[in-house]
Amino acid sequence: DVKVTQSSRYLVKRTGEKVFLECVQDMDHENMFWYRQDPGLGLRLIYFSYDVKMKEKGDIPEGYSVSREKKERFSLILESASTNQTSMYLCASSSNRRVNEQFFGPGTRLTVL
């Protein structure tokens, strides 16, 4: 079974802190994605990566950056957390053969105070 793990289920940070959200997949998938999920807004794509060291902006990249130094790991970085970044963050991965069949992690609920 594909497994996508996220470093924390719940995280509380203060405004202005630098926040790292980590995601690891164990199926050698080429593609990895970061979404945020908010009530009434569904899932919105923040950043994605089709290969190691490659990244592309999604629909709402402002205030975020990413890092993909290894194939299995994709990190989301909030350089200076703000209260409007309080949200559920979901990581996903997929293979090149079935790029839209994404496997999701359990999510990290981030609260910024």
Partner 1 sequence: AQSVTQLGSHVSVSEGALVLLRCNYSSSVPPYLFWYVQYPNQGLQLLLKYTTGATLVKGINGFEAEFKKSETSFHLTKPSAHMSDAAEYFCAVSRGGANSKLTFGKGITLSVRP
Per-residue tokens: 26 = 């164990």
Q: Are 12 and 111 in contact (CB under 8 A)?
A: yes
Question: Is residue 58 close enough to count as binding partner 1 by CB under 8 A?
Answer: yes
* Residue among 14, 6, 17 nearest 78 (CA): 17
Per-residue tokens: 55 = 């990244």
Question: Is residue 101 close enough to count as binding partner 1 by CB under 8 A?
Answer: yes
Question: Is residue 105 close enough to count as binding partner 1 by CB under 8 A?
Answer: yes
Q: Which of 7, 13, 22, 45 binds partner 1 (CB under 8 A)?
A: 45
Q: Which of 12, 27, 41, 113 binds partner 1 (CB under 8 A)?
A: 41
CA distances from residue 92 to 39, 41, 69, 84, 101 in whole angstroms, order as listed: 19, 18, 17, 22, 10
Question: Is residue 43 close enough to count as binding partner 1 by CB under 8 A?
Answer: yes
Q: Which of 13, 63, 104, 111 binds partner 1 (CB under 8 A)?
A: 104
Question: Is residue 60 close enough to count as binding partner 1 by CB under 8 A?
Answer: no
Question: Is residue 75 close enough to count as binding partner 1 by CB under 8 A?
Answer: no
CA distances from residue 88 to 23, 56, 69, 97, 104 in whole angstroms, order as listed: 14, 21, 24, 28, 13
Number of residues that bind partner 1 (CB under 8 A): 23
Question: Is residue 40 close enough to count as binding partner 1 by CB under 8 A?
Answer: yes
